Structure 1
Amino acid sequence: MRSMREQPFHPPDLPIINDKVYHLNLSPGELAPDIIIVGDPHRVTFIARNFLRGIDVNKEHRGLRTVTGYTDWGQRVSITTSGMGTPSLEIVINEIVALHEIDFQSMERKEEFPTLNVIRVGTSGGLQKDTELGTLVITEYAVGLDNTGLFYDAPPPDERCVKLEGVVKDALEGVISENSRFKGRISPYASKAHPDVVRALTESAEELGVNFKRGVTVSNSGFFANQGRSVSRIPPTVPDIDVRLSRTDTGIEGLRFENMEMEASFLLHFLYPLGHRAGVVCPTIDKRPEEKFLVNYQEKVKEASRVALNALRRLREWT
């Protein structure tokens, strides 16, 4: 039987120190409901320096930086760090939601709270040969090859998610050695970007005239063997996972496996069933089958950030 902790929440479950969440070190009100989330803490200041004015929050704690300020059109926006990978993201996104949903005095969930708009701006590896290096990928669906999402028993948002889980599982099992101790152990889970965010990102990219594609993003649990990089002397469980997925049909007309990164899956898996709106836009900065890597990718991050901020403007207007 599933159990839920009774409210009020207690410090071991949700540590609050001096009215601040434990890891982000933020108080309610310091984080806007419109948020760009990035992996690299230095990317927070890079985006803020280029796009925000009137900074009223600039904090760093445990390697997690948050800046809150205003866009040129007066919208209050926060940029915060998720860290690398879904385990770190799981901590951060829980605290982001808690800052808006929970009353820190009573330690109970509020009856009313704002809908969050959260857009991940990151970098990714391209999977398709005909997708130009530097192209922005707007995620429609994500498939998680991490296990973070498996600890949150959310129902699949639609039948496409169920299809994607089966497609990816079959694709990986087809190349894992029969002698592998991990045969049958990888359990993909699929998640969905909020349609409003996909639409807002698409309209913003079109308005700004940037090169973009929409597709399925694969979120890996690591950077090296997890994404097909065979650098260590230990053989990868799934040989050439990137090549395998690039050639796999998603089963969804018009959508391909376009890119790989490390956070999209859980972000969408967690926020969608809560009724918050989340999406992802990442430039492709490498294409390993062609041995290409975009060294000077900051301009592409800047481009993706501009698209994301314009999307947040649209989302707030639509609320």
Structure 2
Amino acid sequence: MATPHISAEKGDFAKTVLMPGDPLRAKFIAETFLENPVLVNNVRGVQGYTGTYKGVKVSVMASGMGCPSIGIYSYELFSFYDVENIIRVGSAGALTEKLKVRDVVAGIGSNHATGYADHFNMPGTLAPTADYTLLSTAVEAAKEKGIEMHVGNLLCHDAFYNEGGMQESLEWAKMGTLAVEMESTALYLNAARTGKRALVICTISDHLVTGEKTTSEERQSTFTQMMEIALETAVLMEGK
């Protein structure tokens, strides 16, 4: 059953997969929140685990960084492993003073400075969006846990270091964009193309306006609120 990038067998993944970028964050989620987690993939060190959360089968697997990487993994999970829902749990940079470091943001849409959408050969401009059922369920889960979760558009950018610098990304705030990350466009478009569901939930790791930032260690193991929202969403989605 193995694909070029995943060594798992059919049935090894749950209906819902949480997808952080960092393999170490995947390991942290599995060991901290899942009961009886089993390593089902470790090709290229991209760790994937399956266990249970509140009695519901849940998986977590890293995506790596950028649209090409999450594009490969999400496509293979959707297309070959019967995965129905992928929830990215990642980090993002705030573009507005309405947010502060460690705030949680859900991306309803994905503005993009990436060529990923071009590969779908559509006769117009694709608008990558989250699945409404998954998003509304996550909003419900956040409210139940008493966690404030901001909902709005993200900016998905191919370049972490770009010639336009920070100011180029900040321009997107004029159009109400909340934060910038590097994976949402590919994930949302793959979900649309395969008829599946996707949602991006991010924690603000650094602030492009104020300059505040977190360490790599903090990003790996302290962004637990978005993890809890995603896990509760997985439980609620089991019957949908």
Structure-1-length-normalised TM-score: 0.70
SS at match of 1:265: helix
Q: CA deviation at 1:35?
A: 0.6
C-alpha spacing 1:266/1:24, structure 2 compared with 1 (3 Å): same
**Cα distance in 2 between the residues matched to 1:241 and 1:99:** 38
Q: Which residue of 1 aligns with 2:129?
A: 192
Q: CA deviation at 1:47?
A: 0.5
Q: Which residue of 2 aligns with 1:121?
A: 89
The match for 1:146 among 114, 123, 126 is 114
Q: Which residue of 2 aligns with 1:83?
A: 64
Q: Which residue of 2 aligns with 1:311?
A: 233
The match for 1:202 among 139, 162, 167 is 139
Paired residues for 1:22-171 under 5 Å:
22-71=4-53, 73-100=54-81, 116-153=84-121
SS at match of 2:47: strand
Alpha-carbon contact 1:154-1:269 (below 8 Å) kept: no
Q: CA deviation at 1:207?
A: 1.1
* 1:221 corresponds to 2:158: yes
Q: Which residue of 1 aligns with 2:211?
A: 291
Which stretch of structure 1 is more off in the superposition, 258-267 or 54-63?
54-63
Larger of the two Rg values belongs to structure: 1
Which sections of structure 2, spanning at least 5 residues, go unmatched? none
Q: CA RMSD in A?
A: 1.9
Amino acid at match of 1:67: Y
C-alpha spacing 1:270/1:153, structure 2 compared with 1 (3 Å): farther
C-alpha spacing 1:115/1:62, structure 2 compared with 1 (3 Å): closer
Alpha-carbon contact 1:283-1:300 (below 8 Å) kept: no
Which stretch of structure 1 is more off in the superposition, 51-60 or 81-90?
51-60
SS at match of 1:87: helix
Alpha-carbon contact 1:136-1:211 (below 8 Å) kept: yes
**Cα distance in 1 between the residues matched to 2:230 and 2:102:** 16
1:263-315 CA distance string (max 9 Å, x none) = 01110011024221110100111112211112334565211111001011111
Amino acid at match of 1:27: E
1:202-251 CA distance string (max 9 Å, x none) = 111111111320010111102122xxxxxxxxxx14771122111x22xx
**Cα distance in 1 between the residues matched to 2:149 and 2:219:** 15
C-alpha spacing 1:75/1:239, structure 2 compared with 1 (3 Å): closer
Which sections of structure 1, spanning at least 5 residues, go unmatched? 1-18, 101-113, 157-161, 163-188, 226-235, 250-255
1:188-207 CA distance string (max 9 Å, x none) = x5301000111011111111
C-alpha spacing 1:27/1:154, structure 2 compared with 1 (3 Å): farther
SS at match of 2:12: coil
**Cα distance in 2 between the residues matched to 1:219 and 1:28:** 31
Q: Which residue of 2 aligns with 1:244?
A: 171
**Cα distance in 1 between the residues matched to 2:18 and 2:123:** 26
Paired residues for 1:259-298 under 5 Å:
259-295=179-215, 296-298=218-220
Q: Which residue of 2 aligns with 1:171?
A: none
Amino acid at match of 1:140: I
Amino acid at match of 2:150: K
Alpha-carbon contact 1:118-1:277 (below 8 Å) kept: yes
Structure-2-length-normalised TM-score: 0.92
Q: Percent identity?
A: 24
Size of the aligned set, in residue pairs, is 238
SS at match of 1:289: coil
SS at match of 1:257: coil
Q: CA deviation at 1:66?
A: 0.6
